[in-house]
Amino acid sequence: MADLSVRIGSLTLRNPVMPASGCFAVEYAEALDLNRLGALVVKSVSPDARAGNPTPRVAETASGMLNSIGIPSKGLDAYRRDVLPAYTRFNTPVVVSVSADTAESFGEACETLSLPEVAAIEANISCPNLEADGMAFAMQAESTYKAVSAIRRRTSHPLWVKLTPNAGQIALIARAAEDAGADAIVMGNTVLGMAIDVRTRKPKLGNVMGGLSGPAIKPLAVRLVHQCHRAVRIPIIGCGGIETADDAVEFMLAGATAVQVGTASFRDPAVMGRIVDGLSAYCDANDIERIATLTGAVALDAQLSDRWLRFAQQSG
């Protein structure tokens, strides 16, 4: 049987499969053995209480879904008291996802959540930055560096930084996160989209626009993972439209060390277990002793690879 373990910074995970933040709840334990996963990523929490965005918050689309949840939160105290204990009872590393409005509040929140029972912190810097008129921190290299630096000054915990696919020059942004002290990059999040009900002529989301996820964005996500892999030395956790073991393998070949599963879990809460089983079967069928050897192993023609590298460097 193949070794499915992967290493992300100082953490060794039993396998590369974990949920994406916001697409998972402890109730999934009724359909899935959570002790089989590589990690448990909990829904993002913000330092201050938030009501979230107006309803409707979710709309189905072809090959995916739109959501505009707005990261509702009851704050850090309620999170530590009421949410976190339900996840830490499992024999699986817990990753807390943090969202904040300013670089300083990011640092303070991550310091508060640097708890012994927390294996790593995922900083969701693809959320709006009030210091830049609401533009996400991860849209620019400078604001990425500022946010990650503010967090790193306040915590020595393993730090994963979640980027956005809506940004240009993703390689520059990934390098800024690495230079500021990130231990890993989560690439990425949802793609900004919109849908309209042609009968009512109203947007299908209460917040008008929202994030597109699911199979529709997978080719984009794979490309971004590959670009980041060429730009940084730290591990990358791929996310975007993963539904099967083959999808997970594709992300790993592109450069991911691990993967997060989001939208697919809404339709099938047990899907991550099947992906773990599928990865084991894939390795056995292809005589792969260690799944970690798949990371970045995409076969590229040497001349084409050099041309692609020059293009990626020029475009950021």
Angle between helices 218-231 and 302-315 (to 10 degrees): 90
Is 291 part of any domain?
yes
**Residue 114 assigned ligand-binding role:** no
**Higher pLDDT pick, 166 / 307:** 166
What tokens appear for 242 in the block? Answer: 């993963």
**Residue 70 assigned ligand-binding role:** yes
φ, ψ (nearest 5 deg) of residue 261: -110, 125
Is 134 part of any domain?
yes
Instruction: Kindly tell me if the per-residue pLDDT of 129 is higher than 50.
Output: no
Angle at the Cα of 80 from the Cα atoms of 58 and 25, rounded to 5 degrees: 35
Is 47 part of any domain?
yes
Spatial distance between the Cα atoms of 195 and 231, rounded to a whole number of angstroms: 34
Is 45 part of any domain?
yes
Which pTM value belongs to this model? 0.94
pLDDT at residue 173 in the model: 98
pLDDT at residue 308 in the model: 59
Q: Which positions are catalytic?
A: 127
- Of all residues in the chain, the percent with pLDDT exceeding 90 is 88
Supply the CATH number for residue 95's domain: 3.20.20.70
pLDDT at residue 249 in the model: 98
Is 99 part of any domain?
yes
Domain that holds residue 46: 6-53+69-192+217-314
Is 60 part of any domain?
no
Average the pLDDT over 51-71 and give the result.
93
Is 154 part of any domain?
yes
Residues 6+ apart with CB under 8 A from 287: none
Is 204 part of any domain?
no
**Residue 162 assigned ligand-binding role:** yes
**Residue 190 assigned ligand-binding role:** yes
**Residue 69 assigned ligand-binding role:** yes
pLDDT digits (tens, 9 = 90+) for 207-247: 999 999 999 999 999 999 999 999 999 999 999 999 999 99
**Residue 22 assigned ligand-binding role:** no
Residue 70 confidence class, pLDDT cut points 50, 70, 90: confident
Handedness of CA 103, 104, 109, 112 (dihedral sign): positive
**Residue 44 assigned ligand-binding role:** yes
Average the pLDDT over 81-109 and give the result.
96
**Residue 15 assigned ligand-binding role:** no
**Higher pLDDT pick, 243 / 312:** 243
Average the pLDDT over 152-157 and give the result.
98
Total domain count, the chain: 1
- Average of per-residue pLDDT values in the chain: 93
pLDDT digits (tens, 9 = 90+) for 246-277: 999 999 999 999 999 999 999 999 999 999 99
- With 0-12 CB in 10 A as exposed, 13-18 as middle and 19+ as buried, what is 267? exposed
Residue 303 confidence class, pLDDT cut points 50, 70, 90: low
